[in-house]
Amino acid sequence: MKEIIVAVAGQPNSGKSTIFNMLTGARQHVANYPGVTVEKRTGKYSYKGNTVTLVDLPGTYSLTSYSQEERIARDFLLHEKPAVVLDIVDAANLERNLYLTFQLGEMGIPLVVALNMMDVAETRGLKIDTFKLSELLRATVVATVGKKGKGGNELKEAILNTYKGGHFRMGYGDACESCGACPGISREKGSFRVDYGEKLEPILKPLEKMLSEDPKISVRYPVRWLAIKLIENDSEAHRLIEVL
């Protein structure tokens, strides 16, 4: 069986490490990312005959190149090309956490969103429609409570399913509802895109086209992401093109 590499991303205080521990248990290994002092935690679990390796990315609010940790997280997604990204989202702070989710989505890797700390959100009177959210984000959304170990199996199922190209939504306690349950939306129709509006889209679209026509760039990097980064004047993105 092939090993499935899954990157675990999330903002600080989203409960990333709790989910990580819930999924992998004691099968963990801690090292540093090469050349830097940022901890790199990896862990493994087996699910339905598949070995899944989780790589914990540094907790960041965004994926710019401002800080070392953001760069590490981004470079891993860009160069190591994990099969799935597991995005841990604090359900009680959904709006702020989505800021990172969008950027992860733009990198073109299939996304599974763990809507963590659902219990906290519920006690605060927030009722989150995971089905709707899944539909809007065009990604599998799984409700979890990492501290209480809720949603672990559902996450494993979602990761495997997403890896295989499927799409469904689930919450803890819910039965698995496979793809047919989310009518009209599937990743084949394209992943979620932030609409950057009439000011930016007319610039982004031709740039995307330019990039996708370049044989070297289009195979290496997600063009939508690169177009946005270039327009944002991101120094690392400029370098990616310069070194080609």
Partner 1 sequence: MEVEKNILEHVNSERERFFSRHEKAPEKVVAQKRYQVAERIVELAVKREKEFFRTFTDKIDQVVCHRFLGPVILLGVIYLFYELSIVQGYKITAYTWPLLAVFRDFIASVLPSPGFVFDPLLRTITLGVVDGIVAVLNYIPIFIILFALIAIMEDSGYMARVAFLLDRVFRYYGLHGQSALPMILSGVFVGGCAIPGVMACRTIKDERAKLATILICPLMNCLAKIPLYILLVGMFFSAYKGIIMFFISTITIIIALAVSKILSLTLLRKTETAPFVLEMPVYHLPTVQGVLRRCLERTWLFVKKIITIVVVVVLIVYLLMTFPGIGKDRRVYYEKQTNHQIQAFFDKIGKDNPYVKLLEGSKLTEFAIYRDDYKKARMGAGSKDAKKAVNEKFSERNGEFFKIVKRGKYKLDGKMVKDKYALKVNKAYKKLNRERNRIKRDIKEETIIGSIMGRIGRSLEPVTKYAGFNWRINIGLISAFAAKENSVATLGSIYQSPPGEEKKALGDRMKEKEKDWTPLHALAIILFMTMYPPCIPTLLMVKLESGSTKWALFATFYPIVLGSAIAVLVFTGGNLLGLSGMQAMVAFYVFALIVTVALGLIKSKEVSEEFT
Which stretches of the chain bind partner 1, using CB under 8 A?
12-13, 17-18, 21, 30, 35-39, 61-62, 64, 66-69, 92, 94-96, 98-99, 102-103, 120, 124-130, 132-133, 136-137, 147, 194-197, 199-200, 203, 207, 210-211, 214, 217, 228, 230-233, 238, 241-242, 244
Amino acid code (one letter) for 173: G
**Shortest CA distance to 117 belongs to which of 229, 13, 203?**
13
Q: In the bound complex, what is the minimum distance in angstroms from residue 7's beta carbon to partner 1?
A: 20
Q: In the bound complex, what is the minimum distance in angstroms from residue 49's beta carbon to partner 1?
A: 28
Buried-state track 49-67, b at ≥16 Cβ within 10 A, e below 16: ebebbbbbbbbbbebbbee
Nearer to partner 1, 50 or 135 (CB): 135
**Shortest CA distance to 58 belongs to which of 32, 89, 26, 79?**
32
Nearer to partner 1, 95 or 188 (CB): 95
Q: In the bound complex, what is the minimum distance in angstroms from residue 65's beta carbon to partner 1?
A: 9
Nearer to partner 1, 185 or 207 (CB): 207
Sheet holding 39-47, edge to edge: 28-32, 39-47, 50-56, 3-10, 84-90, 111-116, 140-143
C-beta of residue 37 within 8 angstroms of C-beta of residue 58: no
Burial grade of 95 (CB within 10 A; 0-12, 13-18, 19 or more): exposed
Helix (H), strand (E) at residue 31: strand 28-32
Q: 């790199």: which residue's tokens?
A: 40
Nearer to partner 1, 92 or 160 (CB): 92
Q: In the bound complex, what is the minimum distance in angstroms from residue 38's beta carbon to partner 1?
A: 8
Helix (H), strand (E) at residue 115: strand 111-116
Helix (H), strand (E) at residue 102: helix 94-106
Q: In the bound complex, what is the minimum distance in angstroms from residue 189's beta carbon to partner 1?
A: 18
Q: In the bound complex, what is the minimum distance in angstroms from residue 185's beta carbon to partner 1?
A: 14
Nearer to partner 1, 99 or 165 (CB): 99
Nearer to partner 1, 182 or 207 (CB): 207
Q: How many residues does the chain have?
A: 244
